[in-house]
Each structure stands twice: as C-alpha cells, then as structure tokens.
C-alpha cells in the first residue's frame, strides 16, 4: 500500500486539482547552459520555418503542401496526386523514425524541436516575462484587482502582441499551403474577392492565439498523443531527463546560518596565554563553518523545489518519467545552479537512462532498436527506389468513352483522351510512338502537346492502324512517350477493331 501511495501522482495530471479544475502554471524564468543552447536551436528552426515559403527553385516554391488540390512540392520537386503512394510510404518512414528516435532518445523532440514548445517557451513565454515579470510578479498581478500595478495596460499589451504574432504564424502556415504569391494576393485584394482566404486567416489566427494564450501546456499533456506513447516505447535503456535518485536520496536540507555567541573572554587573542582547547573564539569559528553546508549522511538533493518551479508543465521530475515531461531540460539548469552553489557535482538531474543511474551501465542497442532500424532501412530503400524510377512526365491514355472504331479504306482508327502530368520544372514537347506497331499513325486533335512545368496537360488524339495488321478484335498497344526526343514514359492501352 505504501508503494501505491507513493505512485499516486501518476493517477492525475499536475495541472488539474482534485475537483477537476485547471491549475494555472507559472513557471520560474529559466536560465543556464541548456536554456541558452535551446534558444539558439529555436532561432535556427524559426528562421527555417518563416523563411522556407519565400525560397524558390526554378520559379517554384522549395516547400508547398497544397492539401485542397492534393499537390505537393518538396525540395522543389512537384508531386501530383498520382504520387500519393510515395507520401504513404514517407509517412510510414516518419512514424517508424519517431518510434525509433523515442526508444533511444526519449521525448527530446518535444522540448527542443516541436513547434508548440518552441513558440510557447521561446516566443510567447518570453514576451510574458518581459511584460509581466517573473513568476512571482505574474501571480501577484493576476491575483490583484484590475486597477492595481497597471494590470489593464499590461494585459492589453500582452494579448495584443500575442494576437499579432498568432496572425503572423497563421499567414506563414497558409503560405505553406497556397504559396506566398497567392497569399500576398489575398492580403492586398479586397476581402470580398477572397473571403474564403480571409476567413481561413481569421480562423487560424484565433486557433493559434487560443493555443498559446490559454491552452498552453494542455496541448502537450492532454491533446497530443505522443506523450502517452512513452509507456510503450521507452524502456530502461532509453535516454530521458532523469533524476539520479541513487545520488540524491535521501533528501537533505541546507543548515540555516545561526548567530554565534559572543566570546566572554576579556583578554585579547594576541596576548592570551591560557592555551585553552575550549577557546570561545575557536568554538565560534567551528559553528560558523556549518553555514550553507548540507546535513551529513544525506543525499545531494536539498529539496529546494527549483526543479518544480521552472517546469513548464508543473511536474516534479524526481518522481520519475511522466507523460507531462517534454524533456525541455529547464530542471537540469536549475539543479546544476544549486549544485554549484553548494559545491556538489552537477548532473543530479541529467539526460540518462534508468539502467545508467541504477547500474552504472546502459546500452542503446537492443533487439527492439535493431528491429525498428531494419524496418526503417527497408522503407527508406523502397521509397528511394520508387523515387528514382519515377518518370518526369506521367502519361494516362484511355479510349474515349462511348466511341467505337472507325474504318476508312481498310484503316482502323480509335479516338483517345490523353493526360500528361509534368512533374519536372521544364517545359517539354511530347511525342507518342506505338512500340508494337511501327506503321501506326498518331494524329492529334489540334496542336501537338507541349507540357508546362508542374502542370497537367489534356487533349485528344487518333491512333490509326491498317486493319490487316490486327489479329483480333481487341489489341493491346504499347505506347512510348518521348519528351524532346528522349523516352520518358511507357503506357499501355487497348485498340478496338472489327471482329476477325
């Protein structure tokens, strides 16, 4: 029963009280080595996020995910709906990679790379610190009346900035979907001309504002399923932000400074000839030496609770791995600062595995890691093969529905509809050739097709074959497609003639 009681913290979220009411988190402003590294990593990732939509290759965006049209551009390469199978495999690769990464490195992605954490902790939270002060000032401000300490002014300023940043994020998000050119057209045109685009901007702005101003850590602890996967993905060799309970327990406390008694010796120390081992001055010095020392026979943890105060999700990392922990390393910085002050080795809270803490040894390579790695390599190999063998122009050639063959002086003709999907960034002139009928004639309805880059071209054509060359009523034709004289695709279609 005692063990169950000790594990009771796992039965509820740290941000919800016994009545089910949310506990608002006021994390202490973090500082330290890891926080500084996180800032630089965040700056780099934010630069990529906001700069990517403006980068173009050969006139097309470097990255674009046009979900409504099912058209995607990745690294300047156009992927139409016909390449959907590549995205299915790519998503499987992403899922397996996340699983493998989590098995080895825990939830490090959440604290260092996830956009939710980066925006919340490195953008919105820092603005909040700048306007309202550290956690104690925020608590005092929120508990005080609206007329106190410029509360209205600070709240209006903070939420105005939050809305503006949310609008900027929403515009960036839309630029990844429709492109910066279409986005600029929506921004500069009257609302009535692009009311759907305007509505999308308003909706996404409100969504981002609600997430970062009110939802905050609830997104990580309640909505996002990734944290709950830790229970099945992590093992005793997985790396995670961990408290070294072997070294830290049992927890001690700093001995508070005590005022020493004044010596009642009337003689000066320089003229003292008593040579007394119980000299009052020596006893006073021994007492003062105990100041800022830790209780003997205790662990290195002094139970200062700074690791809890800086946690953005409000947990106590000393309780062990929890779904709320995003591995942001804020508790590591706070603990290291305390260890330095009390002259103890840093790393009481560090990124380590359970086995490394308890046994001193840990191995990242095991059967699970090997299995996931093998599956990942196979999927990457399959994706690479399909991508390399992918033609730059894909052809779809089908007989026109409802049309039979036509016969003129022994020559049989069929009418076809063609569709050319140009996946390259080049404009090409396309020619067709029947591989298994050298004498077959192809006549286009209108001009010969010229495919534009990253576009779909459609049209109609006639295929004419001498009736004497046909061996049956239905013949399979192999059609070769050439772009600027180079064979780029091959497709098959049926040709209908008279009964034999």
The band of 452, judged by pLDDT with boundaries at 50, 70 and 90, is: confident
Q: What residues have CB less than 8 Å from 327, skipping those under 6 apart?
A: 106, 107, 108, 110, 111, 112, 240, 241, 351
pLDDT (tens digit per residue) in 348-407: 999 999 999 998 887 888 888 999 999 999 999 999 999 988 888 888 899 998 888 898
Buried b / exposed e along 156-170 (16+ C-beta atoms within 10 A): eebeebbeebbbebb
Is 465 strand, coil or helix?
A: strand
pLDDT of residue 217: 92
Task: Yes or no: say if 334 and 34 are a contact pair by the CB < 8 Å rule.
Answer: no
pLDDT of residue 219: 93
pLDDT of residue 413: 93
- Alpha-carbon distance of 61 to 78, in angstroms, equals 10
- Tell me: pLDDT of 315 over 70: yes
Q: Is the peptide bond before 463 cis (omega within 30 degrees of 0)?
A: no
For the record, the structure tokens of 408 come out as 């003129």
Give the mean model confidence (pLDDT) for residues 250-256: 76
Of the given ranges (38-42, 375-379, 485-489), which has the lowest mean pLDDT? Answer: 485-489
- Tell me: pLDDT of 40 over 90: yes
Give the mean model confidence (pLDDT) for residues 69-89: 85
- Alpha-carbon distance of 312 to 331, in angstroms, equals 10
Q: Judging by beta carbons within 10 Å of its beta carbon (0-12, 13-18, 19+), is residue 209 exposed, middle or buried? A: buried
pLDDT of residue 3: 44
pLDDT of residue 455: 84
pLDDT of residue 1: 35
pLDDT of residue 4: 40
Domains, the chain: 13-255+292-390 (no CATH), 393-496 (2.60.40.10)
The model's pTM: 0.79
Q: What are phi and psi of 230, to 5 degrees?
A: -60, -35
pLDDT of residue 242: 94
Mean pLDDT of the chain: 86
pLDDT (tens digit per residue) in 275-303: 555 565 554 455 445 544 555 557 899 99
Of these ranges, 53-62, 82-91, 241-250, the one predicted with the greatest mean pLDDT is 241-250
Task: Yes or no: say if 226 and 107 are a contact pair by the CB < 8 Å rule.
Answer: yes
Q: Judging by beta carbons within 10 Å of its beta carbon (0-12, 13-18, 19+), is residue 39 exposed, middle or buried? A: middle
pLDDT of residue 335: 96
pLDDT above 90 covers what percent of the chain? 48
Helix (H) or strand (E) holding 478: strand 474-483
pLDDT of residue 270: 52
Give the mean model confidence (pLDDT) for residues 201-226: 93
Give the mean model confidence (pLDDT) for residues 402-425: 88
DSSP summary character for residue 305? -
């Amino acid at each position: 029963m005692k063990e169950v009681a000790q594990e009771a913290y796992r039965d509820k979220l740290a941000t919800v009280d016994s009545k089910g009411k949310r506990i608002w988190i006021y994390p202490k402003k973090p500082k330290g080595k890891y926080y500084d590294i996180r800032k630089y990593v965040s700056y780099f990732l934010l630069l990529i996020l906001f700069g990517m939509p403006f980068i173009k290759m050969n006139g097309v965006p470097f990255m674009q995910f046009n979900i409504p049209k099912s058209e995607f551009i990745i690294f300047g390469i156009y992927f139409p709906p016909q390449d959907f199978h590549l995205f299915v495999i790519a998503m499987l690769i992403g899922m397996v990679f996340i699983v493998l990464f989590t098995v080895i490195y825990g939830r490090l992605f959440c604290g260092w790379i996830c956009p939710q954490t980066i925006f919340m902790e490195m953008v919105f939270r820092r603005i909040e610190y700048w306007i309202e002060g550290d956690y104690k000032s925020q608590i005092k401000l929120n508990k005080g009346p609206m007329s106190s300490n410029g509360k209205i002014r600070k709240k209006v300023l903070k939420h105005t900035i939050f809305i503006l940043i949310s609008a900027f994020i929403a515009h960036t998000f839309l630029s990844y979907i429709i492109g910066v050119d279409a986005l600029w057209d929506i921004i500069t045109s009257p609302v009535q001309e692009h009311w759907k685009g305007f509505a999308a901007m308003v909706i996404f702005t409100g969504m981002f504002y609600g997430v970062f101003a009110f939802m905050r850590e609830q997104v990580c602890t309640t909505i996002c399923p990734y944290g709950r996967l830790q229970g099945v993905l992590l093992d005793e060799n997985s790396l995670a932000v961990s408290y070294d309970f072997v070294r830290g327990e049992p927890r001690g406390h700093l001995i508070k400074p005590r005022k020493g008694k004044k010596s009642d010796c009337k003689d000066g120390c320089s003229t003292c000839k008593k040579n007394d081992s119980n000299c009052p001055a020596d006893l006073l010095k021994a007492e003062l030496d105990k100041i800022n020392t830790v209780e003997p026979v205790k662990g290195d943890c002094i139970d200062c609770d700074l690791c809890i105060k800086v946690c953005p999700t409000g947990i106590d990392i000393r309780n062990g791995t929890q779904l709320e922990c995003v591995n942001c390393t804020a508790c590591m910085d706070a603990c290291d600062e305390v260890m330095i002050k009390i002259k103890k080795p840093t790393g009481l809270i560090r990124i380590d595995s359970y086995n490394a803490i308890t046994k001193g040894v840990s191995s990242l390579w095991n059967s699970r890691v090997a299995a996931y790695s093998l599956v990942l390599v196979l999927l990457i190999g399959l994706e690479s093969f399909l991508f390399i063998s992918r033609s730059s122009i894909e052809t779809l050639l089908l007989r026109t529905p409802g049309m039979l063959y036509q016969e003129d002086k022994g020559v049989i003709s069929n009418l076809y509809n063609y569709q050319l999907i140009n996946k390259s960034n080049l404009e090409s002139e396309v020619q067709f050739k029947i591989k298994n009928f050298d004498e077959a004639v192809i006549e286009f309805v209108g001009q010969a097709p010229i495919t534009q880059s990253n576009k779909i071209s459609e049209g109609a054509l006639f295929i004419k074959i001498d009736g004497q060359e046909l061996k049956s009523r239905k013949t399979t034709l192999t059609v070769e497609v050439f772009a600027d004289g180079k064979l780029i695709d091959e497709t098959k279609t049926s040709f209908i003639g008279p009964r034999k």
